[in-house]
């Protein structure tokens, strides 16, 4: 705030509010002043806020008008920061109205709090490790059940049930489980199609545990894999290992992407790898840094990222392998314990 010459900062993005205060409810504003903080929420969260919030004074404004209450508190400030990536046009107009300051005093912030979140504290890494290990345990339960002819939705449902039984607070995102040609869609939603007698099944899923997300992908083969299937799988695995080997403090995110992409391009499937190699994971399933060809960030120890190259061939199928990786002082630690050799079911 000092560097940005702000008198106050209004935080609206809930994961940022959770990061700064511990509050996990679904409705809140956080107003920061140098040395002081106010968290505004509504009556549903009175008890939860009392238990969760540290370092901020909790206020429950009448009629649930959080904006008005925060605006009134900020009246005496001239320079107020707003999170440009998270405030709608309507909210910006409302803020000007309740705060009563001049438009010129509104300072857009972009990614400053997210940059703080990018490097994890040891207890955050421990929380992610717990989420990753819980999710990984569900994979063996899935493969014990997965058979040709099973519907994708039923398979995804079985997996999700196991994760909840194992103690997951919830899912980190909608499970992707796609068999055969359906797996050529990077973000396929499980459908009523039966899994093929012979072909790949891509399974990409994650849990939330203690507020933190996990994210993993494994691709298994139903029936005997042919030559092409073996070659595609071996290429994706080699690309994934090459990217992990490139992870270390100071490495450019783009270089990690390049390490994976080079392997896939050399094998002739470069056109079939349409997404970036990975992303940060934490309170949100996708957060900074991004590991793509155009990424500008450099990796730093304490960051937690995914490494997830893939090959997707229309009409045929897809293969993706994804682990969660911690950037350490020396290089990388892979948190995901699930084996990666080609599994035939």
Q: Does 204 bind Zn ion (CB under 5 A)?
A: yes
Reading the block at residue 330, the tokens are 């020396």
Q: Does 240 bind Zn ion (CB under 5 A)?
A: no
Rounded least distance, CB 173 to Zn ion, Å? 7
- 46-105: contacts with Zn ion (CB under 5 A): none
Quick one: which of 215, 257, 287, 323 contacts Zn ion (CB under 5 A)?
Answer: 215
The site for Zn ion, by CB under 5 A, has a size of 5
Rounded least distance, CB 215 to Zn ion, Å? 4
Rounded least distance, CB 306 to Zn ion, Å? 4
Contact 214, 135 (CB under 8 A): yes
315 to 180, 236, 246, 267, 286: CA distances (angstroms) = 8, 18, 32, 19, 28
Contact 163, 135 (CB under 8 A): yes
The residue behind tokens 């509050």 is: 23
Window 267-306: contact mask with Zn ion (x via CB under 5 A): ---------------------------------------x
Closest CA to 39 of 72, 17, 65, 68: 17
As a whole number of Å, the CA-based R_g of the chain is 23
Q: Does 175 bind Zn ion (CB under 5 A)?
A: no
Rank residues 79 and 185 by Cβ distance to Zn ion and give the closer one: 185
Rank residues 67 and 200 by Cβ distance to Zn ion and give the closer one: 200
Rank residues 25 and 317 by Cβ distance to Zn ion and give the closer one: 317
- 309-338: contacts with Zn ion (CB under 5 A): 322
Say how many CA atoms lie within 13 Å of 316 toward its Cβ: 12
Reading the block at residue 138, the tokens are 């569900």
Rank residues 217 and 295 by Cβ distance to Zn ion and give the closer one: 217
Cα 14 from Cα 316, distance rounded (Å): 40
Binding stretches for Zn ion (CB under 5 A): 204, 215, 217, 306, 322
């Amino acid at each position: 705030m000092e560097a940005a010459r702000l008198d106050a900062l209004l935080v609206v993005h809930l994961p940022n509010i959770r990061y700064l205060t511990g509050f996990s409810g679904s409705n809140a504003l956080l107003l920061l002043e140098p040395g002081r903080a106010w968290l505004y929420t509504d009556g549903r969260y009175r008890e939860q806020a009392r238990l969760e919030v540290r370092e901020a004074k909790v206020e429950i404004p009448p009629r649930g008008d959080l904006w008005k209450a925060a605006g009134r508190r900020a009246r005496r400030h001239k320079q107020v920061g707003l999170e440009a990536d998270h405030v709608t046009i309507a909210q910006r107009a409302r803020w000007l109205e309740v705060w009563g300051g001049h438009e010129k005093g509104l300072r857009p912030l972009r990614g400053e709090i997210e940059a703080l979140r990018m490097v994890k504290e040891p207890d955050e890494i421990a929380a992610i490790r717990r989420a990753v290990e819980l999710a990984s345990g569900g994979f063996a339960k899935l493969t014990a059940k997965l058979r040709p002819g099973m519907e994708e939705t039923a398979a995804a449902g079985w997996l999700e049930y196991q994760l909840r039984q194992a103690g997951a607070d919830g899912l980190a995102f909608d499970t992707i489980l796609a068999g055969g040609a359906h797996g050529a869609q990077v973000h396929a939603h499980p459908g009523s199609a039966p899994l093929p007698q012979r072909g790949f099944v891509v399974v990409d899923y994650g849990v939330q545990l203690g507020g933190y997300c996990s994210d993993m992908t494994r691709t298994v083969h139903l029936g005997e894999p042919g030559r092409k299937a073996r070659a595609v799988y071996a290429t994706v695995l080699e690309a994934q290992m090459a990217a992990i080997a490139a992870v270390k403090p100071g490495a450019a995110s783009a270089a990690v992407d390049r390490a994976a992409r080079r392997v896939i391009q050399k094998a002739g499937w470069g056109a079939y790898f349409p997404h970036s190699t990975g992303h940060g994971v934490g309170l949100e399933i996708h957060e900074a840094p991004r590991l793509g060809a155009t990424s500008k960030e450099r990796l730093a120890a304490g960051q937690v990222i995914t490494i997830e190259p893939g090959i997707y061939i229309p009409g045929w199928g897809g293969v993706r392998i994804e682990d969660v990786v911690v950037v350490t002082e020396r290089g990388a630690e892979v948190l995901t314990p699930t084996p990666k050799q080609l599994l035939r079911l």
